[in-house]
Amino acid sequence: MSPIKREALLLVLHNFWLYYIINRFKQLAQGESALKSAQIFEGAFPTASINATGPVNTFYYVPFVYEAPASPLEMDEPLHAVLESATWTFFETLFRHHLALLLPFVLALLVPRCKLVCVSSLVILSNLTLLLCFIYSMAQWLSLSGARFSFQLLAIIVLGPVLQLLLMSRFATRML
């Protein structure tokens, strides 16, 4: 396998891993009790929406993480306000479309390099936009929560945006 295809496949795999990272952030944004009681439960389809009391999971199409509802005492905390912002809504919509964009990207790995460059530039641009929205949402949430959850957020930042940026830059340098 050529180095550019290997880097492209690593980028695709991390994009699917990013789904799990995003759900970990959403659990963190629901409050500490939701983070402690969150369970990995395949096949569970959460039914609550973002405006309802209970679990917040708008990534309903690949239900890897079931998010337990926060306790009534924590529902007054404004930590979940980030998940109701326009930036987060845009981010989730963009993420869904970005996953749909990955299919032609994988198919472009099978065709000559000229077509791969066109699709790759779209994927990299979409990845950069995703990262900016995700980092902005995390910064907004960190300003609301203070430094209480900074250690948990550090793992999310390293496994999400930092690793994604590293893989994107490696792929872009191989592409050039």
Task: Determine, yes or no, domain membership for 15.
Answer: yes
**pLDDT score of 123:** 86
| Residue 36 belongs to a domain | no
pLDDT at residue 174, as a whole number? 86
Instruction: Give the residue numbers spanning the domain of 156.
Output: 3-31+76-175
Strand partners, 40: 65
Task: State residue 61's pLDDT score.
Answer: 42
Mean pLDDT of the chain: 74
Higher pLDDT, 9 or 1: 9
In angstroms, the CA 148 to CA 37 distance is 18
Residue of 147 and 126 predicted with greater confidence: 126
Please determine, for residue 124, whether its predicted confidence score (pLDDT) is greater than 80: yes
87 neighbors 133 (Cβ within 8 angstroms): yes
Domains of the chain: total: 1
Q: Supply the pTM of this predicted model.
A: 0.71
Q: What is the spatial distance between Cα 122 and Cα 142, in angstroms, rounded to a whole number?
A: 30
